[in-house]
Amino acid sequence: MPVASDRGLRSRSATVTLLGITQILAWGSSYYLLAVLAGAISRDTGWPLGFVVGGLSLGLVVGGLVSPAIGKRIGDGYGRFVLAISSVCLGLGLFLLGLAPSMPIYLLAWTIIGVGMGAGLYDAAFSVLGTLYGLQARRTITALTLFGGLASTVCWPLSAFLLEHAGWRGTCFVYAGIQFGLSLPVYIFLLPSPPEVGRAQASVTPRDEPPIRAEQQFDFLLLAASISLAALISTTLSVHLLQVLQADGLTLAGAVALGALVGPCQVTARLVEMIFGSRYHPIWTKLAATSLVTIGVFLLWNGSPFLALGLMFYGCGIGLESIARGALPLTLYGADGYGARMGRIALPSLVAQAIAPFLGAWLLQVGGAHLTFVVLFSFAAANVSLVLLLRFRTRSAMLQT
């Protein structure tokens, strides 16, 4: 039997690596795309920059709306099919984006990209891993987030290079080609199907989502609210971080250099979780994530002497948050129906992410960086309270884990 076990480990490593590569490309060609291209699109077309950036918000809303149905399909055993559809939608949307002659076509393109985001980013990928590996998926979820943390590191320079040599439309066409030529074949031909993994690990995943018991309903709402609040905070800072840092007196180059601390801190925190995570319940990962983000936001609020330290705390916090987002629902409610539950959690989370850019812009306009950090710190502190309440309510389940 050790041979079968070794083969299973090798297969699991290959699956995570393949999914990790496609996650980098999916995030880079959707969520992180406009960070590089928005200014060029606005200048070339004459469309308002706020409208251009609003395309991403539209995509996130659409992704949130389709997520519950996506999660159920993955739970029914169609994970490879769903991920393949995500590549098709991302590819078609990006191709249409590159062609877009008018604002309605631009928005239509982001609507299609939004379906691809809902079907192919973290929540869908976590659901696929949960369907494949059941309660043993926590380590693979952690490993996958290591790849995801590199998305901006890899794709921002790639997008900048393509923008310089091919323009923003050519950049969209190249990313569309990557989705069709690389990600789609990986999903169709190289990922394992649930029956194959099921035979290797003697596990069976029911097709229907078991109902959450009445006493667990409030806990599930707490979990969804906490994940959504964390998404609101991280997306607000992701979109407006450079502007906030410049408001503290930094140049653009200095803000970019300082902001680069976030990525390595995410990866470092996830490596620590990968090494030690099996020793404790993921509720502690979630509590650590929200606490680190709260400390980080507080230090950023206090300005220049603490900016670097604040970004390090914040980066570690959002790094752990991605792991807790996938591992905690799996541990609390089991592998049965995991995909459908992740879809339900993704809906409010993606809607929160869609609201975040507009909320951040409004806060900066009304009260500057000070008001922005007051609100974000309040959200972060409230999130710690939500997780503490969740931990208190689920303590009996933790003792059994």
In a domain, 304, yes or no: yes
pTM, entire model:
0.77
Q: Same structural domain for residues 104 and 145? A: yes
Residue closest to 127 by CA, chosen among 228, 57, 205: 205
Q: What is the CATH number of the domain that holds 101?
A: 1.20.1250.20
How high is the pLDDT of residue 397? 52
Interaxial angle between packed helices 49-75 and 122-133, expressed in degrees from 0 to 180 and rounded to the nearest 10: 10
Contact 376, 233 (CB under 8 A): yes
Choosing from 201, 227, 256, the residue where a domain stops is: 201
Q: Name the one residue in this structure whose structure tokens are 């590089």.
A: 36
- State the average pLDDT for the chain: 83
Tokens of 55: 């395309």
User: What's the whole-number mean pLDDT along residues 86-103?
Assistant: 96
Q: Which residues contact 29 (CB under 8 A, 6 or more apart)?
A: 90, 94, 155, 175, 178, 179
pLDDT level of residue 204 (50, 70, 90 thresholds): very low
Domain-embedded: residue 206: no
pLDDT over 50 (residue 296): yes
119-137 residue pLDDT tens? 988 888 888 888 888 767 7
Q: Which of residues 201, 234, 268 is at a domain's end?
A: 201
**Tokens describing residue 70:** 């996506």
Please indicate, yes or no, if residue 130 is contained in any of the structural domains. Answer: yes
Residue 121 lies in a domain: yes
Q: Is residue 267 part of a domain?
A: yes
* Structure tokens given for 277: 């995570």
Answer whether residue 69 shows pLDDT above 70.
yes
Q: Find the helix packing angle between 214-247 and 338-393, rounded to 10°.
A: 90
Lowest mean per-residue pLDDT among 86-90, 203-207, 208-212, 315-319: 203-207
Same domain, 244 and 382: yes
| Whole-number Å distance between alpha carbons of 257 and 98 | 30
Distance CA 81, CA 129 (A): 14
Same domain, 197 and 172: yes
CB-CB contact of 5 with 162 (8 Å): no
Residues 295 and 345 reside in one and the same domain = yes
Rg (CA), the chain: 20
Q: Do 159 and 187 fall within a single domain?
A: yes
* Domain coverage including residue 267: 214-399
**Residue 209, in any domain of the structure:** no
What residue type is assigned to position 346 of the chain?
A
Q: Taking the alpha carbons of 64, 70, 75, 81 in that order, is the dihedral positive or negative?
A: negative
Residue 387 binned pLDDT confidence (cut-offs 50, 70, 90): very high
207 domain residue, yes or no? no
Whether residues 357 and 300 share a domain: the answer is yes
Q: Regarding predicted confidence, which is higher, 324 or 99?
A: 99
Q: Based on the fold, state whether residues 167 and 294 are members of the same structural domain.
A: no
Pick from 356, 391, 72: nearest CA to 223: 391
User: In the prediction, which pLDDT does 330 show?
Assistant: 81
Count the domains in the chain.
2
What 3 state SS string does 223-285 have?
HHHHHHHHHHHHHHHHHHHHHHHHHCCCCHHHHHHHHCCHHHHHHHHHHHHHHHHHHCCHHHH
